[in-house]
Every structure is written in C-alpha cells, then in structure tokens.
A = this chain, B = another copy of it.
Amino acid sequence: MNPLLLDRLLQIAELFQKDMARAFDGTGLTPARVHLLWVLQHAGPSTQQALAKLCAVSPRNITGLVDGLESSGHVRRTPHPTDRRAVLVELTPSAVTTMTRMQQEHVELNETLISAIAPEDRDAVERGVTALAEHLAVLVAEAESAT
C-alpha cells in the first residue's frame, strides 16, 4: 500500500528541517536566528516590535534573538531616528554577504528539486502544490479565527 500524500508532505517538511539545520551547523546560527535574518533581509532595518509581528513571536523573544545575533556579529542595534523608545535592528555587511549566499543556494536547491520531477509532471505539481498551500492557509486561518 502506498503512503498518504499527507505523509509524503510531512516527510518533506522533516527533511527540509534537517537539511537546513545542518546547512548552518558550525556557523553558530540556529533555525530561529536564521529566520530572523531572512525577515531582516526582506524587510530592511526594523524595530523589534515589527520583527515580533513578522516572526509571529513575543517581543521578549526578539530581544533574546537579537542579543544572540548581535554577539555573533550578524546584526546591529541603532537608535531610531525619531522615536527614542525604539531601536532599529539591521544586518551587518558580513551578514548581508551570508544571506546573499544563502539565497543563491536556495535558488539552486529549487532547481535541483524541480529536476527530480518528471518533466511532464512539473506543471501539475506546481499547480497542485500551490493549491495545497492556499487550501492549508485557509484551514489554518479558520482555525485561528475560531480561537
């Protein structure tokens, strides 16, 4: 008997986690910190409040993550130009370099994955996976609003 589609997807999710965890193994980075770096690269310099919302995590947690990334030289805290309560968190130049490399590897992995799919199945997979992501997003949003 063949495994459920759901199990395949869960397996893929687990393998991604393993693969990414090992990718920045030895760099001192962790999944939560890398996620914050990604958010920073996309959003640009941001207040910790903004980062807390984008990461869907408590402000207190952001303090801890930024503390760690500041110690390791990946981000810098600078004063907010107009609001003296707030700080702006931004990537250091070396972190920008790191994130650029990670983005390249990301695109390469994407190409590797596509090449693993039979050419005649690629369009259907693209459509199907998009439909799955949208459907799941609706399910999660419904469950959240029910809370």
Contact = CB atoms under 8 A, between A and B. Distances in A.
Interface of A: 2, 4-13, 15-19, 22, 106-107, 109-110, 112-114, 116-118, 120-122, 124-137, 139-140, 143-144, 147
B116 A8 contact: no
18 contacts: A8-B133, A9-B12, A9-B13, A12-B13, A12-B132, A13-B13, A13-B17, A15-B133, A15-B139, A19-B140, A19-B143, A22-B144, A112-B135, A113-B135, A118-B127, A120-B124, A124-B125, A129-B129
Contacts of A10: 16
Contact of A113 (B11, B114, B124, B136): B136
B125 A4 contact: no
A5 B112 contact: no
Contacts of A144: 22
Contact of A116 (B2, B12, B135): B135
Nearest to A126: B5
Given A128-B118, A131-B117, A136 B6 contact: no
A128 B117 contact: yes
Contacts of A113: 5-6, 9, 132, 135-136
